[in-house]
Structure 1
Amino acid sequence: MNNFVTSCILIAAPSSGSGKTTITAGLAWLYRRQGKRVKVFKCGPDFLDPLLLGFASGSPVDNLDLWLVGEDLCRQMLAEAARDYDVVLIESVMGLFDGEPSTADLAVKFGLPVLAVIDAGAMAQTFGALAFGLAHYRADLPFYGVLANKVAGERHAQMLQESAKSEHWMGWAGKVEPLPERHLGLALPEEIPDLAAKLDAIADALATQPIAQLAKPIAMAAPVCFEVKPLLAGKRIAIARDAAFCFIYPANLRCLELLGAELRFFSPLAHESLPECDAVYLAGGYPELHADTLAAHPSIRTDLAAHIAAKKPIWAECGGMLALGDSLTLVDGSVKPMWGLFPARATMQTRLAALGSQSLNFGSGGDGEIRGHTFHYSTMATEMTPVAYGAPCRLGSNGEALYTHGYIRASYIHAWFMSNPVATAALFGAVV
């Protein structure tokens, strides 16, 4: 078994809002400017941060999560990244020790050096106590160093560095213009004006700091890749992909390709017709931001109705499910007609409706279980009776419903196909 060696840093923080994504994107941009091949991962089931980080790194961003993705696939993806890239950056989810399993669990499992990014904008010597706590709270954590963010200037930075004492000081970054956000997270890269200039400014701030020098390389053992049988060989899957349907894991596309499917992408926002296909994948995204344009599509309802009449499957998750519904009520109270193929009425709200990791069982026994994640600001009313409910990762949370309506299967859960390629193949029409 070969070992692959690369420079690797896991960028974590005490909490969300500390600036992890900004620093990770700035480092990726900085290392690219140095001529390095950069691969970025995002911990947890995130869609929006990976889009920005993919823009910054120049490569697709994959997710790492010990429960959702699984230890074996995490190990495989890290080894492949170490083999193919000069630098591997991993952005944490929430705080370093938050969640079960946490980012710290991931770091310990794979020996990933942790850089703690601390928002120091409203503190001085307490910075050192916080850095010490993150470094020593867990004895087996491979701690790499600490970086102060949102610093007022040189004098402030000096106080912070002195307070950190024995912790490995990796520099500081001043206050920069925050990247724009909305509900669910960051704006899409194509919606951020002068994004390259913003990344240049962050990279320039980091270029004079110790973090600009690559971390000491670490070795990652290459695992034996598990086999995925081509159960979808000869099948064509049409996938909606644009600003309204953008929550697509890169690993999901690879899973479908490994299963032997031919992927055909189309944009409902651009009023493109449904491609000739054997199955349809409607992923989540922002149908609520583009409701009028989606409703005005001249042929999509007819195309999908003919697809269903031909007894061909559709998998719709979250936003994809809302687009298939009868109507979507926006936060201003206006009611927008949707495609009317799924008897449900959705309503957007200003507060989070659900968040968490869950799995759905699409068949009898454990063989049909696919893991996933739910995160949405809408609620849905329907007369349909769910055929199953998600199994919460944590006790006490409500499981999301799985609906079957003719040849449509739909849920708020964003499925992680690689958690069960066989069940995924069945979802898209394979006989297994």
Structure 2
Amino acid sequence: MTARAIIIGAPRSGSGKTSVTIGLLRAFARRGVKVRGIKTGPDYIDPGFHAFAAGTPGLNLDSWAMQPDLLRHLFAQQAEDAELVLIESAMGLFDGIVVPENRTGSAADLARLFGIPVLLVLDISGQSQTAAAVAHGFAHYDPDVKMSAVVLNRAGSERHRTLCSQAIERIGLPVAGCVMRDPSLVLPERHLGLVQASEHPEIDAHIERLADAMEQAIDLDALLSLARPVELSRGSVEAAIAPPGQRIALAQDAAFTFLYPHLQRHWREAGAEIIPFSPLADESPNASCDVCWLPGGYPELHAGRLAGATNFKAGLSRFSHEKPVHGECGGYMVLGERLEDADGVSHAMTGLLSHATSFAKRKMNLGYRQATIAVDGLLGRAGEVLRGHEFHYARVTDAGRDDAFAQIADGQGKPLGPSGGRRGLVTGTFFHAIAKG
């Protein structure tokens, strides 16, 4: 079976791409269509909503962090036995960093690489015929990126819909549907983006409402016909990050949630076992594991409970005396000596590294990163380069006394200095690894 695919893009974040994508995934799944979701760019949260909506695992594809061979491999995996793949763009369709073509991190890269057409979601609140000028710009900005149709979002009235639709259709773009303004369809947010699907108190009911809205607003048969079959040459996992161990103790609860689906899948397919444990439940890593991995998440929201998790902290300390421990972003914060929460209250963390962090003294850190590993360890050998990103509001208030985990540069290669810390078998960094450079 060759899956059809379409990219759901928009001029900017906040246009409603996620709600449209989630609703369409569930609407097609309810019809019995074998549908899968993909999110472009570094985003942990939206693939979780895709998974809930479609009933199948989500995936990230990132053209900056992942080499083309790895992109092909992961896309082909996600499209196995699928009839339709919906790819949600991050930010604006063409938004990325200024690097050689098709490695910018934008969804437009995937459109060029794989010949996938775009369904353009336009938030038309506050405008009418001007929406046609925006659509015209998208249709002609890049001849290698094909706009297949437009979905209007947040129309205020039937007259509003008619004015926009007629103007857009006059420039030669079909309007596949129009979603009326409805505040109940908006997903809740927090400081790192949307509240995660697993935390939404009525996630299934909300997705059902989104699916109802999309079925009413969009011609699903027409949309399915606009998607195009994607046939790819064989990909490769050479640039994938190898399992850090044979048996991996993975912290997994409301404080530790951010591990990319493609990493977990690759580690399992490479023969590794993933053994979850919950620090918030005061569990420690299984002593039979080879390594312990503390992923990112929201430890700043649970700092008091983590500080009081004496069994977790003691067990992790024992584990670290003989076996490697690595923490990413939130995991790195928990490996430090102290974490200051949003109210300015300081909590004792594990102390396996000597730094301190604060969420009260916020500073947004966001962007692609290239990390050159300092010494041989869980993520590779000294001198190897990993590609990934940082996205956090917490900041280091005391750099501590540990050696650096890596030297990092931004997405264009500009050096940013040392990152993270390492002491004995313990390493940590704010940097999230996606793939090998």
Distance 1:348 1:233 in 2: 29
> Partner of 2:27 in structure 1?
30
Is 1:223 aligned to residue 239 of structure 2?
A: no
2:254 is aligned, of 240, 243, 262, to: 243
Shift in alpha-carbon separation, 1:400–1:109, aligned structure 2, 3 A: farther
Is 1:263 aligned to residue 271 of structure 2?
A: no
Q: Any conservation in 2 of the 1:242–1:268 contact (CA below 8 Å)?
A: yes
Secondary structure of residue in 1 paired with 2:3: strand
Q: Any conservation in 1 of the 2:257–2:296 contact (CA below 8 Å)?
A: yes
Distance 2:155 2:199 in 1: 28
Q: Any conservation in 2 of the 1:353–1:377 contact (CA below 8 Å)?
A: yes
> Partner of 2:378 in structure 1?
none
State the 1:388 CA deviation.
3.0
> Partner of 2:146 in structure 1?
142
- Residue pairs, 1:233-382, within 5 angstroms: 235-276=246-287, 277-310=289-322, 312-349=323-360, 351-362=362-373, 368-380=384-396, 381-382=398-399
Distance 1:378 1:309 in 2: 28
- Residue pairs, 1:153-232, within 5 angstroms: 153-164=157-168, 165=170, 166-176=172-182, 177=184, 178-213=186-221, 214-215=224-225, 216-226=227-237
> Partner of 2:120 in structure 1?
116
State the 1:226 CA deviation.
4.3
Q: Any conservation in 2 of the 1:329–1:346 contact (CA below 8 Å)?
A: yes
Distance 1:233 1:406 in 2: 16
| Deviations 1:139-176 (CA, angstroms, capped at 9, x unpaired) | 11121111111111222111110110211211111123
Letter in 1 for 2:143: A
Shift in alpha-carbon separation, 1:328–1:171, aligned structure 2, 3 A: same
**Farther-moved stretch of structure 1 (223-232 vs 240-249):** 223-232
Secondary structure of residue in 1 paired with 2:137: helix
Secondary structure of residue in 1 paired with 2:310: coil
Shift in alpha-carbon separation, 1:211–1:397, aligned structure 2, 3 A: farther
Letter in 1 for 2:387: R
> Partner of 2:436 in structure 1?
419
State the 1:267 CA deviation.
1.1
> Partner of 1:88 in structure 2?
85
| Deviations 1:44-86 (CA, angstroms, capped at 9, x unpaired) | 0100111122111211111111121221111122223333212
State the 1:108 CA deviation.
1.0
Secondary structure of residue in 1 paired with 2:178: strand
Distance 1:399 1:122 in 2: 44
State the 1:210 CA deviation.
4.1
Q: Any conservation in 1 of the 2:388–2:433 contact (CA below 8 Å)?
A: yes
Distance 1:237 1:395 in 2: 32
Distance 1:62 1:322 in 2: 26
State the 1:203 CA deviation.
1.6
Q: Any conservation in 1 of the 2:131–2:164 contact (CA below 8 Å)?
A: yes
> Partner of 2:427 in structure 1?
409
Distance 1:231 1:171 in 2: 44
State the 1:400 CA deviation.
5.9
Shift in alpha-carbon separation, 1:317–1:400, aligned structure 2, 3 A: farther
State the 1:263 CA deviation.
1.4
State the 1:367 CA deviation.
5.9
Shift in alpha-carbon separation, 1:231–1:184, aligned structure 2, 3 A: closer
Shift in alpha-carbon separation, 1:272–1:74, aligned structure 2, 3 A: same
State the 1:254 CA deviation.
2.4
> Partner of 1:398 in structure 2?
416
Secondary structure of residue in 2 paired with 1:370: strand
Residue correspondences, number: 415
Secondary structure of residue in 2 paired with 1:201: helix
Distance 2:164 2:240 in 1: 54
**Farther-moved stretch of structure 1 (166-175 vs 267-276):** 267-276
**Farther-moved stretch of structure 1 (37-46 vs 230-239):** 230-239
Secondary structure of residue in 1 paired with 2:85: strand
Q: Any conservation in 1 of the 2:179–2:213 contact (CA below 8 Å)?
A: yes
Shift in alpha-carbon separation, 1:246–1:217, aligned structure 2, 3 A: same
State the identity as a percent.
38
Shift in alpha-carbon separation, 1:233–1:289, aligned structure 2, 3 A: closer
What RMSD in Å do the two structures reach over aligned CA positions? 2.3
2:55 is aligned, of 38, 54, 58, to: 58
Shift in alpha-carbon separation, 1:400–1:29, aligned structure 2, 3 A: farther
> Partner of 1:44 in structure 2?
41
Letter in 2 for 1:356: G
Shift in alpha-carbon separation, 1:354–1:234, aligned structure 2, 3 A: closer
Q: Which runs of 5+ in 2 are unaligned?
A: 98-103, 376-380
Letter in 2 for 1:180: P
State the 1:228 CA deviation.
9.1
Shift in alpha-carbon separation, 1:217–1:402, aligned structure 2, 3 A: same
Letter in 1 for 2:272: A
State the 1:217 CA deviation.
3.8
> Partner of 2:135 in structure 1?
131
Letter in 2 for 1:109: L
Distance 2:433 2:291 in 1: 16
State the 1:323 CA deviation.
1.1
Is 1:73 aligned to residue 70 of structure 2?
A: yes
